[in-house]
Structure 1
Amino acid sequence: MEQLKLLINKLKNSPNKIRIAMVMGIAGMILIMISEVIPDKKRAPEPESGSETTSDEADTFRKSTENELRSLLEKIEGVGECEVMVSVEGTTEYVYAQNISRYTDEDADRKSDKLDENIVIIENSSGRQALVRRVIRPQISGVVVVCEGGGDIRVNERVLKAVSTALNISSGRVCVESKSK
């Protein structure tokens, strides 16, 4: 500790103290830059902007839609056992509730309108989280149904109508085929 005090006193009385301070400052900045470049092994890698979560949610949505549709179609007369594949576009999107306030700011010779938008945060037993106003599911882009009765034109038409009605998609996006034996 004594040596440190002596070193500081020498630096204070040195004619090159400005140069020494600059060198120490540059050395400090270099150390900071190096610490940002070298990865911290203790820190867990951050997921890329939630892309895994949203694709998992879209996959879950697709699979649950396929299961519900399969269950529904197998109850239709003549369909028999079937397999369903649903294609989706996009990912699950969340729309959060916001507090929006508008006000006019007037100075001596100018007037400006200002808008503040803040996401509503709620507290519950699991902590603080944003209030979700609406969840937008991925868009269904197509459906393929392979069923035992798919070769019969009447069954084919009933399946086509049921799928397009249940999923609110055009019948052109639905393909019904007969299952091979």
Structure 2
Amino acid sequence: MDKKMPKKISLKDFGMEKIILIAIAGIVLLAANFSEWKNSSSKTSEKQEKSIETSQNDAYVEALENKLVHILENVDGVGKAEVMITLKSSKESVLNKDLSEEKQTEEERSGETQKVNKNQKKQEETILSDSSGNSAPYIIKELEPEISGIVISCEGAGNKVVEASVLEAVQVLFGVSANHIKVLKMEVAK
């Protein structure tokens, strides 16, 4: 029996064209993998930002509800109270807009009956940078989330005077119209 000796393969056997094609394919695969990784990391950061925003909104609502319960339970005739607050939107930051330039030009070409209108708007934002190179926009003010509705359940809501006092207090505190506030009588445990 003849044993076949394995043939050694060298780079010359492949040819330069094939080597270049393999190298280019490798680079393309690496670039595609990097762009997928970059997209997945940006989606992850977006989810984290939304999660942080949601938890901040939840903390804001919980703080408002706790304060309102504390105030209402100290009002004569209200008794025990529970509150639920819903929001229309999340916290909003107002950025500093420095340069605001608007240009409007009209051209009328003499040989043709064509009129061209051009509108250009230009705004620049102020960016703050620290010594390590991190930058962030300059925030003028932050607007708290807008409240869309409030439901209050309290023991004293059976009394019309107490119900009216609670309704009026909530309107004054939150600037919400009466049609977005509901005061309910809490069931008393027997």
Determine if the TM-score, normalized by the shorter chain, exceeds 0.5.
yes
**Structure-to-structure mapping, 1:1-181, within 5 angstroms:** 17=16, 20-37=19-36, 45-48=44-47, 50-100=49-99, 102=101, 115-121=122-128, 123=130, 129-181=136-188
* Deviation (angstroms), 1:71: 1.9
Deviates more, 1:25-34 or 1:49-58: 25-34
Give the secondary structure class of the aligned counterpart of 2:156: coil
Q: Percent identity?
A: 25
Q: What is the number of equivalent residue pairs in this alignment? A: 158
Distance change (3 Å), C-alpha of 1:99 and 1:22? farther
C-alpha distance in structure 1 between counterparts of 2:121 and 2:187, whole Å: 65
Say whether the 8 Å CA contact 2:126–2:137 is kept in structure 1.
yes
Give the secondary structure class of the aligned counterpart of 2:90: coil
Query: 2:181 is aligned with what amino acid?
Result: V
* Deviation (angstroms), 1:50: 1.4
Deviations 1:32-71 (A, max 9, x none): 32454479xxxxx534261111111111111111112112
TM-score by length of 1: 0.70
Distance change (3 Å), C-alpha of 1:113 and 1:46? closer
Give the secondary structure class of the aligned counterpart of 1:150: helix
Unaligned runs of 5+ in 2: 1-10, 39-43, 104-117
Query: 2:178 is aligned with what amino acid?
Result: S
Unaligned runs of 5+ in 1: 1-6, 11-15, 40-44, 105-110
Say whether the 8 Å CA contact 2:83–2:152 is kept in structure 1.
yes
Query: 2:149 is aligned with what amino acid?
Result: G
